[in-house]
Amino acid sequence: LALREATDADDLAFLTALRPFQRAGVKFLVTARHALLADEMGLGKTVQAIAAMETIGNDAYPALVVCPNSMKRTWAEEFNRWAPGRDVVVVSGSAPARKKSIAALKNGEADVAVINYEGLRSHTRLEGYGAMTLSAEEKRPKELNEVALRSVVADESHRAKDPRAKQTRALWAVGKNA
């Protein structure tokens, strides 16, 4: 897989393995850059997101994937399948182990970190919402805020629909500048 900038999704050979509607989804994501891919379940949104980042090339990395805990390993496996040149870390385990994985992303030792929604709020500051007052701890930048993320993928983004929920405001904070 040649990693390079591409302006047309059809320029990358691995995209020929995708179905036509998936290639259209990749083109949509590459063009929009900030988008919601809302295909039905089972139609390959994961591969479309990975293919879009690979089409954009190195400018899409470092990347963070936020997903349900049960999907962390699946995301890592899909990156290994569709973007085998990318180093992926799964953020899991004890707090020091999670911080070590995030440090690998920050230091350029990894291209992608995969974290679950529940863990996200432990490693990023929170954004405010309405009249809600943030504590000093919630305002304090944490490990993920020190990473110059270029892409943030929110898998199962309906988990971040309540603006009062900490995991929603953590996603806002980490994705703010991506």
Kindly report the pTM of this predicted structure: 0.90
Q: How far apart are CA 113 and CA 131, in angstroms?
A: 32
Q: What is the pLDDT of residue 9?
A: 45
Q: How do residues 3-39 score in pLDDT, each as one tens digit?
A: 344 444 444 667 788 899 999 999 999 999 899 998 8
Cα–Cα distances in angstroms (integers) from residue 112 to residues 11, 40, 149, 177, in the given order: 23, 25, 9, 16
Q: What is the pLDDT of residue 12?
A: 64
Residue 2: alpha-carbon gap to chain centroid: 21
Report the chain's mean pLDDT, rounded to a whole number: 91
Q: How far apart are CA 29 and CA 32, in angstroms?
A: 5
Q: How do residues 98-147 score in pLDDT, each as one tens digit?
A: 999 999 999 999 999 999 999 999 999 999 999 999 999 999 999 999 99
